[in-house]
Amino acid sequence: MRAFFNRKKKLTAALLLIIIAAGVFAFNENDKYFQIAKNLDIFAAFYRELNTYYVDDLPPEKIMHKGIEAMLEETDPFTDFVSEENLDDLKFMATGKYGGVGASINTNGDWTTITDVYEGSPMDKAGVKPGDIIVSMDGKSVKNVAQEEISRQLKGAAGTSLDMVFRNPLTGVETPRKIVREEINVKPVSYAGIVKNDIGYIKMTQFTENSGAMVRKSVEQLKQSHPGLKGIILDLRSNPGGLLDEAVIVANIFVDKNRLIVSTRGKVKNWDRSYETTEQPVDIHIPLTVLTNHSSASASEIVAGSMQDLDRGVVIGQRSYGKGLVQTTRQLPYNTKLKVTTARYYTPSGRCIQAIDYSHRNDDGSVDYVPDSLRKSFATAGGRAVKDGGGIEPDAKVDPTYISQVAITLLRKQFIFDYATTYYYSHPKIATPATFSLSEAEFADFERYLENKDYSYKTRSEEALDSFKSTARKEKYYDAIADELETLEAKMKHDKKQDLLKNKTEIKRLLEEEIVNRYYLQKGRIARSLEWDNEVNTAADILHNQAKYKQLLTIAR
């Protein structure tokens, strides 16, 4: 009997604790919403009094937007307020479509120049060429008009027209052209072709609506036109991502039906989801490599991560960006929206590859990368070790290619661009993109073209020395080492002519790409660049070496 009463007392105490805990939880939740309501009242009253009595007029929209911006500083950079005038940008991110003319521009000095024309675009149809200078738009001169303003005017509803005048960069002849805007669809697959005779190559630039279907079509066409295909390279370098659903569709091309590709988990549990493949794949056996770099993010990482976790393909290149967060748009009043991070996503092994921890901020408000010591290990389908918290680490690392300071200067000052324009107007035709090459005489002509041009610059070593000299002066060491520094500076002083010759191969390649772009547009530029693309060549070599390919998919990291 005593044991019964003891059990009854324990049961009563346990129930009491549960009731108290439930009450505390309810109180905390109620307290939370009370705090929200309380501070909203304070905020409204504060603004009302400030607006009524402050000595000067305060613009309401500007003041409120500053308040919104202050709140957003407490979130991650992917959570944002989208005003009505920026809705087109949000639409473009999801669809890859916008109303416009289909060209890229650059302002250099007084005038703005066409730098790229998209194939089949209104500009292309009107006969506009890269290098053409915009003189006027709808009868108004655009001399000294900011590039952002010209870009804004070029965009507009499909079907509307724009009367423009262009100046030939060599002859100076001005030509009027009527440009009828269209819905421009930036193709998510910018190039699909063959490298090294039997390797398929697909360059994917973004994950917008129907991008998965376009990649599927590209794979099918490559297989049909090249029955002896030895493998496929899926290039996701510098692809910022996009729609999660499209990432699943791309993965489904290479993975069988009903396989988990990604799952999402967040605060609202009803929104948690697991995304599995739903269609029959195109090919689950063909060897696959996925190229990534530090700018491959979001949906790109879902594809690369799932191929890695399922041991379906080899990831090659550099560690990816590390964006493991999912955004959702919520409708707000007056045709505005909130783009808000609602969940984290997890690859098939269960890892979240988010690299920056926005939930824990330092005292100064800054955020840090997840330290290696806190990154957890997971296992792929075949047992290989992979880690969370730092993007997708490649199975075969390839160091990024950096271009020289002299090449950067020639590009920045548009000397390579301008020479390509001159070359285009003096050469009616050139060879195909894959075979075109500048002769020694033509490169010598480029050197002569530069003779009177100012492409002076400081090397990184010279910049480092300048920084050291500045620090030495502040710390009162300069006078004691001035002679040594002057001697070192004299030895480091670069010769522009010698730098040009030392980096001839690199500069020649950049020239060839820009020239090919004049004749074959963006596809031509990509096709020409593939010959010396280090990551592409590494991927092709691995795909040709099946023993190496299989080893990378089985060794433990």
Q: Mean pLDDT, to the nearest integer, of 81-93?
A: 88
The residue assigned the tokens 């290990």 is 377
Q: Is the pLDDT of residue 495 over 80?
A: no
Q: Is the pLDDT of residue 203 over 60?
A: yes
How high is the pLDDT of residue 92? 85
Q: Mean pLDDT, to the nearest integer, of 81-92?
A: 88
Reported confidence tier of residue 28, pLDDT bands at 50, 70, 90? low
309 is catalytic: yes
323, 387, 469, 523: which one is catalytic?
323
19 or 302, higher pLDDT? 302
State the Cα angle at 115 between 149 and 437, rounded to 5°.
170
Q: What is the pLDDT of residues 149-189, one digit of tens each?
A: 999 999 999 999 999 999 999 999 999 999 999 999 989 99
Reported confidence tier of residue 493, pLDDT bands at 50, 70, 90? low
Reported confidence tier of residue 12, pLDDT bands at 50, 70, 90? very low
41 or 5, higher pLDDT? 41
Identify whether the C-beta of residue 163 lies closer than 8 Å to the C-beta of residue 498: no
How high is the pLDDT of residue 8? 43
How high is the pLDDT of residue 30? 67
Q: Is the pLDDT of residue 21 over 90?
A: no
Q: Is 117 helix (H, G, I), strand (E, B) or coil?
A: strand
Pick from 97, 208, 98: nearest CA to 152 = 98
How high is the pLDDT of residue 338? 95
Q: Mean pLDDT, to the nearest integer, of 513-531?
A: 95
- Of 100-104, 359-363, 547-551, minimum mean pLDDT range: 359-363
Query: pLDDT averaged over the chain?
Result: 90
Q: Is the pLDDT of residue 140 over 70?
A: yes
Measured CA distances, 202 to 145, 214, 250 (Å): 38, 10, 12
User: Strands, E, within 282-390: which ranges?
Assistant: 288-292, 314-317, 325-332, 336-346, 356-357, 368-369, 377-379, 385-387
Q: Is the pLDDT of residue 557 over 80?
A: no
Q: Which of 65-74, 291-300, 360-369, 372-381 has the highest mean pLDDT?
A: 291-300
495 or 34, higher pLDDT? 34
How high is the pLDDT of residue 85? 86
366 is catalytic: no
537 or 108, higher pLDDT? 537
How high is the pLDDT of residue 117? 95
Q: Is the pLDDT of residue 472 over 90?
A: no
Q: What is the pLDDT of residues 404-441, one digit of tens each?
A: 999 999 999 999 999 999 999 999 999 999 999 999 99
Q: Mean pLDDT, to the nearest integer, of 201-205?
A: 98
**Rounded Cα gap, residues 149 and 170, in angstroms:** 26
Reported confidence tier of residue 326, pLDDT bands at 50, 70, 90? very high
**Rounded Cα gap, residues 526 and 509, in angstroms:** 12
Q: What's the whole-model pTM score?
A: 0.87
Reported confidence tier of residue 213, pLDDT bands at 50, 70, 90? very high
- Of 322-336, 372-386, 543-557, minimum mean pLDDT range: 543-557
- Quick one: which H or E segment has residue 175? strand 174-180
217 is catalytic: no
Half-sphere exposure of 14 (CA within 13 A, CB side): 6
The class level of CATH for 97-185 reads mainly beta
Half-sphere exposure of 362 (CA within 13 A, CB side): 6
- Of 5-14, 25-34, 186-195, minimum mean pLDDT range: 5-14
Burial class (CB in 10 A: 0-12, 13-18, 19+), 503: middle
Q: Is the pLDDT of residue 57 over 60?
A: yes
309, 395, 418, 533: which one is catalytic?
309
How high is the pLDDT of residue 390? 92
91 or 154, higher pLDDT? 154
- Of 241-255, 275-289, 465-479, 522-536, minimum mean pLDDT range: 465-479
Selecting from 2.40.10.340, 3.30.465.10, 3.90.226.10, 3.90.870.10, what CATH number does the domain 189-400 have?
A: 3.90.226.10
Q: Is the pLDDT of residue 380 over 60?
A: yes
How high is the pLDDT of residue 425? 95
Using the 8-state DSSP alphabet, how is residue 209 labeled?
T
Which ranges in 54-146 belong to alpha helices (H)? Answer: 60-72, 87-95, 122-125
Which ranges in 85-139 belong to alpha helices (H)? Answer: 87-95, 122-125
Reported confidence tier of residue 3, pLDDT bands at 50, 70, 90? very low
211, 298, 300, 306: which one is catalytic?
298
The domains of the chain are located at 31-74, 97-185, 189-400, 405-459+494-539
How high is the pLDDT of residue 313? 97
Q: Is the pLDDT of residue 11 over 70?
A: no
**Rounded Cα gap, residues 498 and 500, in angstroms:** 5
Pick from 220, 222, 212, 216: nearest CA to 188 = 212
pLDDT > 70 in the chain, percent: 94
